[in-house]
Structure 1
Amino acid sequence: MDYDKFIFCLEAVPDVEKEYETETVKSLEHLAIQGIDSIYKTCDTIEGIEESLTTLLYDDHNFKNYEIIYLVMKGEENNICLNNYYYSLEEIAELFEGKMRGKIIHFANSKPLDLTNEESQYFLDVTGAKAISGYGGYTSKVSSSKLDQVFFSLCQDETDVVQIVEDLHEKHYTICKLLDFRLYY
């Protein structure tokens, strides 16, 4: 089945000049087999994020169809790390200011997402995003890529984020609890 909602993935890597065969690429290829299209880009600086986002916004005529912005980056609760530099989610929100209207910003479990109500509301208000999601816990032993795939598939058929989360927990309760899946809206 072909879907009309796409995924834009930005993955942090040590050096964008090198090619990497990452688990993220394999996961996106699996989604493509299911008919869910995506664009995959790597970044190693905050400027790389900004450049990729600008290209997506102004040069991709399908931007309105990108429902999910998938960020695969290391970091801590309220920040991301690119080449040993930390950027707060407030800084990221300002970078995305008003540009994410109706989008879901989803973080892989390579960084925990643990926001206060004020932090999540600030991010949503500044970016215009419909929701921000990710995982409260980080463990290098369990990747979120399979659960991410299920989440993305559910987002294709359902627009109510609460229903998406309920369906995700109903189908994959154990892994949702293990990784502490979270969605702020």
Structure 2
Amino acid sequence: MDYDKFIFCLEAVPDVEIETTTEVVKNLEQLAFDQGIDSIYKTCDSIEGLEESQNVLLYEDHNFKNYEIIYLVMQGEGNNICLNNYYYSIEEIAELFEGKMTGKILHFANEKILDLSPEEAQYFLDVTGARAISGYGTTFRNITSSNLDKAFFSLFEDEDDVLEIVEELHQKHYALCKLLDFRLYY
């Protein structure tokens, strides 16, 4: 990843007023320290917070074009996310991001299973303009995807073709990719 490319991470938390250092923050700090990949980290506890963070990123951050990966750490099920005990479908999230993610890769940590039908994935990509959406087909409470996420992000340092990146990720971390069922919709 070039010095001018960043990761924007948005993590769902129970209450944004309570500051805590999560595993995600520690891993992003390690990624910056070890590999020089910078990130912006924000939390949200509601759909309004998600939308507000997105709007700040889009309209107030002049480096938005440099954010290649939007990293979402949220609970949920196959085609939805859960914020503050409310479920939002991937279609609702697509409409929230409508036309605002052009060229971006939205990556979900394994806090939630990402299980989209071809139609759902295509709808999301068409509506948001995203280049790809990725995540995992299985979730384990005792195994987080953080190490595989970091490996995935670091591969963007030297390569832009998302298919080649995923192929290299599988070559280097095959067992973990299979265990967590890494998925890419493009």
TM more than 0.5: yes
Question: d(CA) in 2 for partners of 1:32 and 1:4?
Answer: 13
SS at match of 1:40: strand
Q: Which runs of 5+ in 1 are unaligned?
A: none
Show structure 1 runs of 4+ deviating over 4 A.
none
Identity of aligned residues (%): 77
Aligned to 1:167: 168
- Residue in 2 aligned with 1:184? 185
Write the letter of the residue equivalent to 2:22. Answer: T
CA distance in 2, matches of 1:153, 1:85: 33
| 1:14 alignment counterpart | 14
TM-score (norm 2): 0.98
Q: TM-score of the superposition, structure 1-length normalised? A: 0.98
CA 1:124–1:2: 2 relative to 1, 3 Å: closer
C-alpha contact (below 8 Å) 2:106/2:134 kept by paired residues: yes
- Structure-2 separation of matches of 1:89 and 1:178: 24
Q: Aligned partners of 1:75 and 1:117: how far apart in 2? A: 19
Return the offset for 1:158: 1.1
Counterpart of 1:31 in structure 2: which amino acid?
L
| 1:95 matched to 2:96 | yes
Instruction: Report the equivalent of 2:40.
Output: 39
Over the aligned positions, Cα root-mean-square deviation in angstroms equals: 1.0
State the match for 2:83 in structure 1: 82
Between the aligned partners of 1:13 and 1:120, the Cα distance in structure 2 is 26
- Following superposition, the deviation at residue 133 of structure 1 comes to 0.2
**Alignment length (residue pairs):** 185
Report the Cα distance in structure 2 between the residues aligned to 1:168 and 1:162, rounded to whole angstroms: 10
SS of the equivalent of 2:154 reads helix
Deviations 1:103-155 (A, max 9, x none): 00000000000111100000000000000000000110110000000000112
